[in-house]
Each structure stands twice: as structure tokens, then as C-alpha cells.
Chain A
Amino acid sequence: MTGRLRRWEAGVAATVILAVAGLLNRSGVLLLAAVIPLAYVAYGSATSVTVPDGLRATRRVDETPTPPGRPVTVTLEVRNEGPRPLSDVRVIDGVPDALTVVDGTPRAGAAIDVGESTTIEYVVVPRRGEYDFDPPRVRVRGAAAGSVADATVAADGEDRLVCRLDARAPPLADRGAEYVGTLTADDAGRGVEFHSTREYRTGDPASQIDWRHYAKRGELTTVSYARQVAAVVVLVIDARGPCRVVAGPGWPTAVELSAYAATEALTDLLASGHEVAVAVLGLDGPGPVGLHWLPPGSGAEQRSLALDLCRTAIDAEPGTVDATDQVHRLVELAPPGAQLALFTAALDDVPVEAVRAWSAVDHPLVVCSPDVVSDNTAGGQLAGLRRRTRLARCQSLGARTVDWRRGTPLALVLERAFAAEARLATGGARGTTRGGRP
């Protein structure tokens, strides 16, 4: 689309005034002076501009797919491969409406010589979903700035940003199935940690013979290792209405971040051979007292079902159910001795009461809390203090509590959260529930 700008109206007026004054006063000098503004008017009117075909755009999205809340850098390079320089080019990238630009700007204005380019770089924060970028809009103005031409330029490279809960959690592979879980029990069995030695029996593998002892004493002994067993971990996602708040417009909600953390933990725990159950608080689900409940299980199918439940936690509208009832009901549903991991923003006292109820029945507890409270407003500062107070109360009740502040890698948070001493119901098991990344 090409259009004209009303840029030289002052020139027209000056021409008229000078010419009229020259005629009335019969002054040839004034009439000649009218030529000067008229020349500008004529130049601005005579020149025209079009968007050249040689204008190329290339977009790069770093990186996609990406998890919710992770800042993603988008770079758009506009290159002039045409035959003539462009004195005034203005570019606006087609950022999807649902994405938030948190740093930089998707706009630029530059003069681009032949073979040169200008680059736009900005940062967006996605929520779960798929976002299609529109082609960038370009406006070119002529040298006299009397006319403009608008056009959309098809961008090469990436035109879609995908945000998924499991972006950093690849599907389960046949990884490390040599042992079941990474919890060590008190009795001997297959494992890697030294347990005891005993007298050699026929059929013991040669790799377990203590050759050093044989060289010293001349007796064959067999090394036994601590047996590794699996744990049962119940991931609880707090999807109640108070948690559906954001740190800023367009940012992921606390529920979405909780579901993302649960997805990562789920993948790590399943990959390590543990059994994992999932429960969602605050929704009106098909389970007991409105719970969304996935019983303990393992393997790829369990992961798929659990991922569906995490997505449901984000997409479903909060129900009118009593979350306190669900908390107490969860005590009955969880297997004895199962570890309960609560993912909550801790924006009210319900998580503290849940930890109190669960700790009363001696479940090992983990609380992982995404931080969605801003600290640069007075309201956010006060809400942040109350949230930290609740986390401290959870910790004092015996839960291993981790504050997931924005900027801390989630892998590190989960490592800290699940590196707790596990009090298992398998009897005498000792060690840690530690999810290993494939």
C-alpha cells in the first residue's frame, strides 16, 4: 500500500503568500522567492516510493519448544538485497497478541544500504500454548519523505513459538533400568553402594569377589551391595483460584508454573524407577471429593496420564469444592509412607494447613513454591513477606521447603527438593529420592 504524506503544506502556504504578496506589491523579488518553497513542494510531490522486492526478513526464536515462564529471545533481521539503498525503513514484527514483550522492542527504524541489514531483538515470556508470529510489517519512506509504502514481508526462519510443560522433559527412554529406583534398603541386593561381605558361595559372580581380601588372606569372599528400591511419590498440584494470579500481564500463572515443576519432577522420578501419583487440588474433578487423582504407577503410560492431568490443572476452571476436604481425603488415598510433594504458590493458608495434616500421619513432605509475587510494588512486597512466612511455617512443620524464585533453574530446585532424607515405608530403607535426568 502506497500513500502520500501531507508534509509540505507549509511550503504550499509559503508559496501562496509570497506569490500573492509579490503580485500585490508588484515585486518580482517576492515572486522569485516563492520559487524556493515551491521547489520543495514539487520535489515532495514528484518523488514516489515502493517497498522493494529485495527486502528480506529472517526471524530466529531462541528457543522453541520452551517451558512456561522462560524468557525467549526473538531476533528479526531485515536485509536490503535490492539494487538501491533505503533511506527510511520502519519495521514492526508480528508479535502474537497473547505474548508479552518483557525486554527490548519489536520495532525498529533505520536506513539500510544495499547488502546491509538491521536487527530487532526482544524478549517474550510465553504461557503454555502455540503462538504463530505474523509477518513483519514494513514501512518505507522516500528520500523526500513525501510518500510512504507499507507492506508485509514474509519472514524466513521460525514463525512459531511452542510452549509446553514437558519442553525440558523428554520422553522416558530405556535408561538405567538396571536398578529399580535410587533408594537404598538396609538388606543386601543389587545396587552400587557397599553393604557387607560374606563367605563365597558357588555361583556368585566373579565381579563381586573381593580379590584384595583373597590376596591377603587366601579366602574367597563376596561383596554384597545395598539393595535399591523404589519409592512412591505423590505430586500434588495446587490449582485453586487464589493461585491463578500472575507476576505481570501475560506471565504464566502460579498454577501453570506449579504444573511445569510437577511435570519435570514426574519425568525425573519415573526415569529413576519410582512410582508416581498425581493429585490436583481445587478443581471439581471426577475423583473422591472432587479430586483429580491418578493412582501410583510407573512407565511411559503413567507419564502420559500424569501429563494430561497437569494440563487439566491449568486449563480447567477452579471448582467450588472445599480444598480442605480434598487435603484430608488425600491422606487416605496416598499409600502408607508415600512421599507427598506439594506444588503451590502459598498465597493463602491452605497449603500450611495441608502440610500440617499430612505431617500428622508421618508422610515425608516436600513443598515446592513458585514465586509469582512482584517485589517492586508495596502490595507485592507485603504479599511476598506473607508468602515467605507461610513457607517458613511449612518448613517448621517438617516439610522440605524450596522457594522457586524466578531465575533459579528448575532442575536445581527439584534437586534440592527431592534430595531429602526419605522416610520410607519399605522398612529400613535409607537414602534419598533423587531424580536423575535422562
Chain B
Amino acid sequence: MRDQERWGLVALGLLATAGGVVLAIREFEPTTPGSDPGTLVSLVGVGGLAAAAWLVYDRSRSRRDPVPWSNAGPIVRSDPEDAPRRYPLSGSRLAGILVDARAAARDRREVEDGLAVVRPLLRTAYCEAAVAGGQDRSAATEALDAGTWTDDRVAASVLSPHVDPPTRSLRRRFRDWLYPGRAVTRRTVRAVSAVATAGDAAIAPVIGSDAPRRAETYEPSLAVRDVGGDGRVRDLTGGREPDDGGRVEGDRRGGRRGAAAGREGAQ
């Protein structure tokens, strides 16, 4: 709105109000149009109010604010916190395999079909660590098949189809049937945590491997997250999905605490 329009609106409003004040003072009595000054004032007031209403309506049609919280538009063109994505993230291979695994599970509504996709990668990771730690490869394979490499039955059942998972509640089974892809992700994440715990225990430490990580690791921004059908936030780049408690493990602090707690629990 230009300054002239704005000031015109204010002037009309003031005129209308002044008219009202005059009428109130004179205790307004009905008269024929044009017979006294009060009527003239009221007509001017109504005209001004009509003009003001038209201006408000016209402005509402030309609303151009991008978002309600950025009055007068953003100060800068783009978010200064954004980072260029020229190079791929490390450790994204599992995320790609998980996409295929979830699709396989959804196709037949069988969680086992999805786990069969991720199983070779997890078995290889554990076997490599066990062999690097001095264990025989065949013994490591046998431990995987028998599920004796970990105390976590869920993780053991992911890495071996011969190991039965623990008995699940009816609600959990119904949920797995309803969302098999989500069940694949949840069990894979749990299996990865168990494999990492067992693998780290098997291999010999190298210099610096126990040093603390002071600097941050990857934390997905809101731009790469999505809200799922259940209202929970998901990381679209392969981060962990919420665990059973509803906590988002992809969160940096919560995720690290969760991973540490998982290791301690497994030990």
C-alpha cells in the first residue's frame, strides 16, 4: 500500500469516528436526508468506511508474505546454515540396501524377505571382524548360524534364518504385518548395534581407536527429514528410525546415548 492510500484510510476513519462522536453528542434524532448536518456527517462516515473496507479487501487479495513468521520477507535469500552437498556421505551403503529390503518386505508382506536382503552384509561384517580378531572363519559362521555370537535374540535372528526371534505380542505382530518395511528397519538397526558390539570386542584395538570424538558427526537437518504417517520424524538419508520407545535415535545426542546404552546392555 502506498503512503497516500494509508493516510487516506486513516483520514477516512477519523472522519467517520468524528461523525459518530458528533451524533452521539447530539443524541441523534431521525431526520430526512440532507436536512441537518448530522446526516451529512453520517453519510460521509459510511462512505469512508466503505472505502476502507474496499482497501482492506483489495490488500487481502494481493497478500504476498511467503510465511507468516517472516514479516516483510526473509532477510537473506537462503539459510546461512545450509551446507553444500558436493560429496556423498560415508557409510551410506546400508541405507541403499535398506531401501531394497523394505521394498522386498512390503511386496510380500513378509519381514523375513526384507531381512534376507540385508543379511549377507551384516554376516560379512561380523565374520571379517571375528577373523581379524583371530577366530576361524568357519567357527564364526557356525556361531552366526547358531546365534551364539550375541545375547540379543532379535539380532541373532536377523543374521540367521535358523534362529527364531523371541515371542512377540499380538500387538507387535499385527504392527509388523501392517508395516513390514518398518519392522525390517527396526530389526536391522538392532542387529547392526549388536554386530558392532561383538565386532569391536573381537578385533584388536589400534592406536587412537579409543580416542574421544570431540567434533560432531553427521546430523541431518530438517531439510532431509520427513514426518511419517504416524507423525514421527524420519531421516530420509538412512538414519535410524525411532525405536520402540518412540525416541528418534538419529538425533545426535540421543542416538549416541542410545548406542552407548545398547553396548553396555549387551555387555
Contact = CB atoms under 8 A, between A and B. Distances in A.
A54 B95 CA distance: 53
A106 B125 CA distance: 41
B238 A377 contact: yes
Interface residues of A, number: 98
B23 A403 contact: no
Interface string B196-227: 10011001111111011111111101000000
A105 B79 CA distance: 10
25 contacts: A3-B72, A16-B49, A19-B16, A19-B45, A32-B17, A38-B10, A38-B13, A97-B82, A106-B80, A245-B90, A249-B83, A374-B89, A377-B250, A378-B94, A378-B189, A378-B238, A379-B94, A385-B125, A388-B199, A389-B128, A389-B132, A391-B206, A402-B206, A403-B211, A408-B208
Interface stretch (A194-202, A301-309, A393-401): A393-401
B115 to A, nearest CB: 14
A377 B95 CA distance: 9
Interface of A: 3-7, 9, 12-13, 15-16, 19-20, 22-23, 26-32, 34-35, 38, 41-42, 45-46, 69, 71, 90, 92-95, 97-103, 105-107, 125, 137, 139, 141, 148, 150, 244-250, 253-254, 345, 347, 371-386, 388-389, 391-396, 400-408, 413, 416-417
A41 B213 CA distance: 56
A93 B219 CA distance: 22
A28 B87 contact: no
A167 B122 CA distance: 41
Contact of A379 (B10, B65, B215, B238): B238
Contacts of A34: 13, 16-17, 20
Contacts of B93: 379, 383
B250 A376 contact: yes
B213 A380 contact: no
A265 to B, nearest CB: 15
Contacts of A345: 90
A155 B206 CA distance: 47
A28 B211 contact: no
Contacts of A247: 89-90, 217-218
A379 B78 CA distance: 30
Contact of A90 (B63, B75, B129, B206): B75
B214 to A, nearest CB: 3
Interface stretch (B1-9, B102-110, B135-143): B1-9
A377 B24 contact: no
List 3 A-B pairs, minimum CB-CB distance, nearest first. Answer: A28-B24, A31-B20, A407-B214
A267 to B, nearest CB: 20
A139 B75 contact: yes
A148 B71 contact: yes
A23 B28 CA distance: 10
Consensus secondary structure, chain A interface: mixed
A246 B83 CA distance: 12
B172 interface: no
A246 B215 CA distance: 14
B146 interface: no
A385 to B, nearest CB: 5
Contacts of B19: 31
Interface residues of B, number: 92
A45 B6 contact: yes
A382 B72 contact: no
A249 B65 CA distance: 31
Given A31-B16, A406-B215, 8 more contacts: A28-B20, A150-B72, A248-B219, A249-B89, A254-B90, A373-B91, A375-B217, A407-B213
Given A28-B21, A45-B6, A377-B239, A382 B216 contact: no
B213 A406 contact: yes
Given A9-B59, A247-B217, A383 B90 contact: yes
B39 to A, nearest CB: 11
Contacts of B28: 26, 28
A139 B74 CA distance: 10
A90 B75 CA distance: 9
A26 B217 CA distance: 70
A417 B208 CA distance: 10
Contacts of A71: 215
B144 interface: no
Contacts of B218: 247-249, 374, 376-377, 380
Nearest to B26: A28
Task: Tell which of A12, A378, A386 has the most Cβ of chain B within 10 Å.
Answer: A378
A389 B203 contact: yes
Contacts of B207: 400-403, 416-417
Given A148-B71, A148-B72, A405-B209, A246 B21 contact: no
Contacts of B60: 9
A71 B216 CA distance: 10
A389 B237 CA distance: 25
B21 A6 contact: no
Given A92-B76, A101-B81, A31 B23 contact: yes
Contacts of B235: 377
Interface in B164-192: 188-189, 192
A245 B46 CA distance: 70
Nearest to A253: B87
Contacts of B10: 38, 41-42, 45-46
A279 B129 CA distance: 30
A379 B91 contact: yes
A383 to B, nearest CB: 3
Nearest to A147: B72
Given A9-B59, A13-B56, A28-B24, A389 B75 contact: no
